[in-house]
Structure 1
Amino acid sequence: MSDFDALMEFQRTTEALSSVAERLGWDQETVMPRGAAEQRAEEMAAMEAILHERRTDERIGEWLDGAESEIEDEEDARMLELIGRDYRRQTRIPARLATELARQTSLAQGIWAEARANEDVGAFLPALSEILMLKREEAAAIADGGDAYDALLDDYEPGATAASIATIFDEMRPRLVQLRDDVLGADRQPVQLAGQFPSETQLRLARQCATAFGYDWSRGRMDLAVHPFSSGRWQDSRITTRVVTSDPFNCLYSTIHEVGHSNYELGIDSDYAFTALGRGVSLGVHESQSRIAENQIARSRAFTEWLFARMSDAFDGLNIDNADDFYASVNRVTPGYIRTESDEVQYNLHIMMRFDLERDLIAGRLLTADLEEAWNARFLKDFGVAVDKPSNGVLQDVHWAIGLFGYFPTYALGNVYAGCLNRAMHAAVPDLDAALQRGDATPAVEWLRENVHRHGALIPAVPLIEQASGAPVSADPLLDYLEDKFSAIYGL
């Protein structure tokens, strides 16, 4: 067997085991009994120990050296690049640290959920402090003398740096703040959807929305979770949502968001399954797929016309009596607390705040004991609203509980990428709005599958978006889209 073939066979098993570990995480957040938390932590730690051992196996280095002369095409070259990158990162992380991180993040997830339910920040801080200590150690090991936060960020958005992201954010912030101020000060304000909307009806509509976006139910399923997410790849990518009886948009748009993620995974070339190419190329690109589905497509005037009719029938009428007002209500801008429920205008401001806070946490400039106060002060400064309770503040997101430092900025990058793709998609699919009015988003999904999904990790993030959009990556398409859309809704 050649070195290349031996490496691919070894990688195939590693990818399969990684998928099993991911499935354990899905189970923990959806259907696992609450009393099984400690057992699951040990199971996750055991899986991570096995995976770390495989990812740092000395034979990988030998196979990589030998396989260089056996490359036949760009796919071979890219697989070796990705495996080599992961191997170099993993060999810098001690096995003890990888195992302990898996154990502690599994435990902290349950601690966070209970603390959030009880509005008790103090109950979560010891677990967060432990995770932060471990993540700093991991960052130092990976950075090898470089910037610790950049080392963590690189795991989610390869090639990006905190400095480059800060530059993008600094360019975006003035236009976003000005647009928000103009919108909130406008004379025309959309009506808020009001009432009580039964859970089962919401979930039935959520399934219809997922189907409208071409979600493959033979390779997926939908469950409930405290914090909606998607999980899995290749032939099994699952989505979750949540239900708030007073706010059906929460359920419907969370569902569409997660379908965007799953459609990406399910749309990757099947030849890439169980290889380093068989996944989304970066978290920013991944988020672009969920955000373009949720916002540019599902919050469009065309799609909301279809949704208005479906909701009016399902709930036997609404307090909004026409499709134009419904469209405005779906896109209503309010100074709310929750990132995942935020409107398009303010969403990136939520991300910018978290980006700054977690950089300070990793650098040691901010202690966990002072985190809630820092969060509340920054939120008041940025949004003009005082946080009323921890679940609306520092406890709202699960990310830090499961060690995802460096993850948050990819959400805003995803919005930037989505802006670029949206402009190109509408130019390439001129009859898209007509299909959306019929509740058919598949023309958009098919365009994304051809230009983004099928490539998996073959093309790096920025070149992929530039190839798909036919232009350099820039925040301008996103900001132009937001200004045009919300100026029309609010009569600016």
Structure 2
Amino acid sequence: MAAFDDLMAFQRQTEALAQIAGRLSWDRETMMPRGAAAQRSEEAGALQAVLHACRTDSRIGDWLDAAEQETLDQVGEAQLRHIRRSYERTQRVPGDLATALARLTALSQGRWAEARENDDFSAFAPVLAEVVALRLEEGAALADGGDVYDAMLDDYEPGAKATDLESMFTALRPGLIALREAALNGAAAPKVSGQFDAQAQMRLARQLAKVCGYDMARGRIDKAVHPFSSGSGDDVRITTRTSDHDPFNCIYATMHESGHAIYEQSIDAAYALTPLGKGVSMGVHESQSRIVENQLGRSRAFTGWLYGQMKDAFGDFGIDSADALYANVNSLHRGFIRTEADEVQYNLHILMRFDLERALVAGDLAPGDLEGAWNDRFLRDFGYAVPRASQGCLQDVHWSVGLFGYFPTYSLGNVYAGCLSEALRKAVPDLDTQLGRGDLSQAMGWLRENVQQHGGLYTPRELITRACGFEPTEAPLMNYLTEKFRDLYPAG
């Protein structure tokens, strides 16, 4: 297997360089001095040029052709599948375009952050137009005559098609709206009160990450404006954020990102620095973060345990019982921010972004008109007006770094999580008893065995089907949401 071995040795070097590029991005979000943005843009562009050269090296094609004639096991065949897909896609994108995109998005992220801080979309609109133009150029190259948005989506959810997602989201929408209308007309949930020390929040965040199974010896927790997870294998880092008046922002951002990080830490170590050594898709990745944050972390059983931990951490925080805490963390409420939305309305946020970015890619919406289109759509979908850009089209970092096709994977991840949760509860009948003790070990063990350890061995849809025993569908998610929120808001 000389060709396969040579190919994999080369691939490990390329994957290591990609991890370094990811570390530069992590540093930009957490510790980089603001004045270093221009230099970091050059560094990112230089590294992207090296990576592009590695990924388009003509030897890869020769190695692939030779290796495919060798006798390989299932793992070897999966490695070749990923490498060929990446090689063929990367070859379609000119090196100078890949470098220009890396430089521009490193710079535009800083412009987005400044515009967001100043609530000034007009300051960001010109650079957004540049990002859209370059991504459209890249998308057209990747599509090779096919659908450009599908080509972008394929970066994050291989094999997915926008028309299929549109059908799934269309099926979700009526039930989500009905649940929202019933709940918003119900009684208001209890609210927290007081000031919450940032250091106390971070101590609780670290405790929760460990409870979820996050290995701090191979990771770390820092703060960022927009929480995220970064890395794979033995260096997987997460960020969270704190708010003086809202500890749940920190608590559930931490649990969410822990779900992402634990997935990466749980992949078979034999796959490290290979195409199989990372999450197979963003939809599957999101399923791991969402099931930890929501189906486990917001369950009545787990919040009963969490109530005691919060009393220890903060003393009196304005909520007088575990049941009241459960109602609080699952309340449906008016709001503008996707990452702070409840489980029902979160998906409506994603459906809006999905439609808007498809319009941008199709040329039906000019980048400079995004703010107005966003505000009009939000008013139509949610029934109240966006007061400022930081609570509207500038709230998310994704488009500033060219992540078109990424947003729909969030709702797809929720769909996958609904399927996995249904299967998990059948496999672990006493799950609530365990969650009531703050014990997630068996739940996370089931996810590790059935989803996480496999990395990229299977296709996304195949992986979820194998884990659940049925093809993924939106029905389990809607069943879960309906049962949960009709119990919380019985008048609906």
TM-score tier after normalising by the smaller chain length: over 0.9
Give the CA deviation at 1:195: 2.4
Task: Within 5 Å, give how 1:4-403 maps onto structure 2.
Answer: 4-186=4-186, 188-403=187-402
Distance 1:438 1:211 in 2: 14
What are structure 2's unaligned runs of at least 5 residues?
none
Contact 1:190-1:325 within 8 A present in 2 as well: yes
User: Any idea what the Cα deviations from partners look like across 1:200-251, whole Å, max 9, x if unmatched?
Assistant: 1111111111111011000000001010000000101000001111111011
Distance 1:116 1:261 in 2: 26
SS for the counterpart of 2:159 is: coil
Contact 1:257-1:291 within 8 A present in 2 as well: yes
Distance 2:393 2:71 in 1: 48
Distance 1:441 1:383 in 2: 35
Give the CA deviation at 1:142: 0.5
User: Any idea what the Cα deviations from partners look like across 1:255-304, whole Å, max 9, x if unmatched?
Assistant: 00000000000000000001111011110000000000000000000110
SS for the counterpart of 1:459 is: coil
Q: Which moved more, 1:448-457 or 1:115-124?
A: 115-124
SS for the counterpart of 1:132 is: helix
**Pairwise CA RMSD:** 0.9
Q: Does 1:3 align with 2:16?
A: no
Q: Which moved more, 1:427-436 or 1:406-415?
A: 427-436
Give the CA deviation at 1:35: 0.6
SS for the counterpart of 2:68 is: helix
Distance 1:381 1:149 in 2: 25
Aligned letter for 1:52?
A: H
Give the CA deviation at 1:434: 1.7
Distance 2:67 2:412 in 1: 34
Aligned letter for 1:236?
A: D
Contact 2:126-2:368 within 8 A present in 1 as well: no
Distance 2:194 2:148 in 1: 48
Give the CA deviation at 1:315: 1.4
Distance 1:444 1:119 in 2: 42
Aligned letter for 1:468?
A: A
Task: Within 5 Å, give how 1:437-452 maps onto structure 2.
Answer: 437-452=436-451
Aligned letter for 1:233?
A: S
Aligned letter for 1:103?
A: R
Contact 2:330-2:342 within 8 A present in 1 as well: yes
User: Any idea what the Cα deviations from partners look like across 1:315-359, whole Å, max 9, x if unmatched?
Assistant: 111211111111001101012100001000111000000000001
Give the CA deviation at 1:438: 1.5
What are structure 1's unaligned runs of at least 5 residues?
none
Distance 2:316 2:297 in 1: 21
Contact 1:189-1:490 within 8 A present in 2 as well: no
Give the CA deviation at 1:71: 3.3
Q: Does 1:463 align with 2:462?
A: yes
User: Any idea what the Cα deviations from partners look like across 1:25-45, whole Å, max 9, x if unmatched?
Assistant: 000000011110011001100
SS for the counterpart of 1:69 is: coil
SS for the counterpart of 1:287 is: helix
Give the CA deviation at 1:490: 1.2
- What is the count of residue pairs matched by the alignment? 491
Equivalent pairs: percent with the same residue? 58
Give the CA deviation at 1:197: 1.1
Contact 1:192-1:332 within 8 A present in 2 as well: no
User: Any idea what the Cα deviations from partners look like across 1:93-142, whole Å, max 9, x if unmatched?
Assistant: 00000000000000011111111111111111111111100000000000
Give the CA deviation at 1:313: 2.2
Give the CA deviation at 1:431: 2.2
User: Any idea what the Cα deviations from partners look like across 1:427-486, whole Å, max 9, x if unmatched?
Assistant: 111222222112121211111000000000001111110110111211000000000001
Contact 1:45-1:102 within 8 A present in 2 as well: yes
User: Any idea what the Cα deviations from partners look like across 1:142-174, whole Å, max 9, x if unmatched?
Assistant: 001111100000010011111111000010001
Give the CA deviation at 1:192: 2.1
Give the CA deviation at 1:194: 2.6
Distance 1:71 1:389 in 2: 60
User: Any idea what the Cα deviations from partners look like across 1:413-433, whole Å, max 9, x if unmatched?
Assistant: 000000000011111112222
Contact 2:268-2:277 within 8 A present in 1 as well: yes
Give the CA deviation at 1:189: 3.0
Aligned letter for 2:480?
A: Y
SS for the counterpart of 1:376 is: helix
SS for the counterpart of 1:474 is: coil
Aligned letter for 1:5?
A: D
Distance 1:184 1:83 in 2: 49
Aligned letter for 1:115?
A: A
Q: List, as ranges, runs of 4+ consecutive aligned residues in structure 1 with deviation greater than 4 Å.
A: none
SS for the counterpart of 2:405 is: coil
SS for the counterpart of 2:446 is: helix
Distance 2:281 2:417 in 1: 13
Distance 1:71 1:258 in 2: 39
Distance 1:282 1:304 in 2: 30
Contact 1:193-1:318 within 8 A present in 2 as well: yes
SS for the counterpart of 1:232 is: strand
SS for the counterpart of 1:46 is: helix
Aligned letter for 1:107?
A: L
Aligned letter for 1:476?
A: A
Aligned letter for 1:104?
A: L
Distance 2:364 2:460 in 1: 31
Aligned letter for 2:190?
A: V
Distance 1:212 1:285 in 2: 22
Q: Which moved more, 1:306-315 or 1:106-115?
A: 306-315
Q: TM-score, normalised by structure 2?
A: 0.99
SS for the counterpart of 2:339 is: helix
